[in-house]
Amino acid sequence: MSQNRPAAFSSLRMGEVIREKVQDGVTGEYKDMQYTQCKIVGNGSFGVVFQTKLHPSGEDAAIKRVLQDKRFKV
């Protein structure tokens, strides 16, 4: 399963916070996000879904990391 994890997760220590700039799938707006405690809850041909906790609120969230096929990359 670790091959499906983003590079940031391979060296993640317990309780460590990940900070990323992410794109809202509906609005296309970019936002800064902080989260921790990631685990894979689903995967398929289009990407991987992680269960996580947003930081600092502790709110549960799901993150879908979409895999882009090089054939369709512009």
pLDDT tens string 17-51: 889 898 888 899 999 989 887 888 998 888 889 89
Q: How far is CA 4 from the centre of its chain?
A: 11
pLDDT of 59: 93
Six-digit token pair at 48?
């991987």
Strands 60-66 and 47-54, by their bridges, are antiparallel
Report in angstroms the alpha-carbon separations of 42 from 5, 47, 49.
12, 9, 5
Task: Flag whether the pTM goes above 0.75.
Answer: no
What value does the mean pLDDT take over residues 53-73? 82
Q: What is the mean pLDDT of residues 43-71?
A: 85
Position 29 scores a pLDDT of 94
At CA 23, angle to CA 57 and CA 65, rounded to 5? Answer: 85
- Decide if pLDDT at 2 tops 50: no
